[in-house]
Amino acid sequence: MKIFEDVERAERQRDIEIACRILPVQLRSYLESFKSFKDLLKFRIMRDYNTCMHNDEDLMPEDTDEEVLPCIEEKIFLLACLLLMDFVASVDDSDDLAKGALSSYVSHIRLIPMIVEICFVNMQEKQLNKFKVPNLSAMVVSEMDLAAEDSKDMMPFCMKVFYQTVEAFPALVRHWWSHDCRRGLNGRVSRFTEEHVGPMIMQREIDKIREAEANGKWGDTSEMTVRGSKVSREVTATYMKDECSLEVVIKVPASYPLANVEVNCTRRLGVAEGRWRRWVLQIVTLLGTQDGSVLDAVLLWKQNVDREFEGVDPCPICFSILYPKDHALPTLPCKTCQNKFHSACLYKWFHTSRKNKCPLCQQPF
């Protein structure tokens, strides 16, 4: 047990060192020092909780009509968080080590609870029901947002910060919401995510897939196609091989990323069930615990399929990798020439030629 603890401690230290090389020292110092405002935040959370408990206006205390004034420290903190998200977005998608290090650093300084709590303290549900939520992915924070003096004017800014936090660290937000989110806030976060953030995240995922296809991310489009639908909330990847197809469907729930995706294998031609299950588990793990995107999951699936068929030569009898009827791979080798055949093709060859010899080297099989 101590060995595992030492390894985990060493990995965490390595991640922090990598994050320190990416983030400016002033930004890190400020984010880490914000713990000193916890008492102020607790007071505001209790105020928010008491307000939500008085849904009947006749029972509502007189002071609950007053706006909860956002503190200047909270504005600066959220602005610093947006700056952090910009650094996260600047990391290359292929640099898994850096992305993982930033996620580990954010988890280490317990940043997610502070961000979400402050955002929702300033997003009163009564006001939120009357508020038209802007396109958060395209929204640019203005000086007017920063100059806001009450919670209502502060709402767009807080929505933007929450959206970008969910987009940058979906696994951390999901873990916090599932295990540590206080009861009074759990439902509010879920509803806001399902109604406003989830659809924008889904559209963003589809846009990433279209952009990847336009940039030739998966090569020959006649071999690999990916379709995404915002209505059905599904992403379908199809891999063609010898006029046969393999297909995986990633179903994204409305409250994603608070709820994890469902992965269905509609066609797994030529791939053993055990291996396919491992692929599905990899996708669920990537999206559930590693802050991966749906595009990352599709590329991982394609990588696994490519490896499955890599180095597999067509059967010398039917000249196909997959047998047309049962979609099996050529697995029966000739001990002399080492060529592999489909068992059905070889059986048919023996039957028609009336010889138990290899079709290529003519040695006894």
Helix (H, G, I), strand (E, B) or coil at 241: strand
Domains of the chain (ranges, CATH numbers): 1-54+68-181 (no CATH), 219-353 (3.10.110)
pLDDT tens for the chain, residues 1 to 365? 556 566 677 777 888 888 889 999 999 988 888 754 555 555 555 555 555 555 444 433 334 434 444 567 788 888 899 999 999 988 887 788 888 899 999 999 899 999 998 888 888 766 666 666 666 666 666 544 555 555 556 788 888 899 999 999 999 999 999 998 888 888 999 999 998 899 999 999 999 999 888 888 777 666 788 999 989 999 999 888 766 678 899 999 999 999 989 998 777 666 777 778 888 888 888 888 888 889 999 988 888 888 777 777 777 877 777 676 666 778 788 888 888 888 888 888 787 777 888 888 888 87
Q: Which helix (H) or strand (E) segment is 235 a member of?
A: strand 234-241
Q: Do the beta carbons of residue 258 and residue 177 sit within 8 Å? A: yes
pLDDT, residue 62, reads 39
Token pair listed for 310? 């890599």
pTM comes to 0.74
* Alpha-carbon span 141 to 161, nearest angstrom: 10
* Alpha-carbon span 81 to 161, nearest angstrom: 7
* Alpha-carbon span 159 to 197, nearest angstrom: 9
pLDDT, residue 39, reads 52
Q: Do the beta carbons of residue 365 and residue 356 sit within 8 Å? A: yes
